[in-house]
Amino acid sequence: MKANITLKLDAALLREVRVLAAEDGTSISAMLAARLEQIVRERKSYDRSRRRALARLRDGMSLGWTPPGSRDELYER
């Protein structure tokens, strides 16, 4: 289901957008819809990546390091 919206643009900008749409062989409506879909996809992808990164930070990573038992072990030669 699609819905209509009203958009107010400066006349000079509208002329330039019409030219761009004509050069691309599409309509202004299709250009705007594609760009808005791209923005939403990018935002969702960013949010998903951010949540994964934060979860990894909370869980931490094992580096396989164990602290030495004593000072002598630390400086063992």
Supply the pTM of this predicted model: 0.62
Distance from C-alpha of 31 to C-alpha of 20, rounded to nearest angstrom:
9
For the cut 70, the answer to whether the pLDDT of residue 26 exceeds it is yes
CB 28 within 8 A of CB 21: yes
Local structure of residue 24 (DSSP, 8 states)? H
pLDDT-derived band at 65, boundaries 50, 70, 90: confident
CB 74 within 8 A of CB 68: yes
Comparing 76 with 37, the larger pLDDT belongs to 37
The pLDDT value given to residue 77? 59
Residue position matching structure tokens 């000079």: 12
Q: Give, to the nearest 10 degrees, the angle between helix 28-59 and helix 11-24.
A: 90
Non-local CB neighbours of 68 within 8 Å, separated by 6+ positions = 74
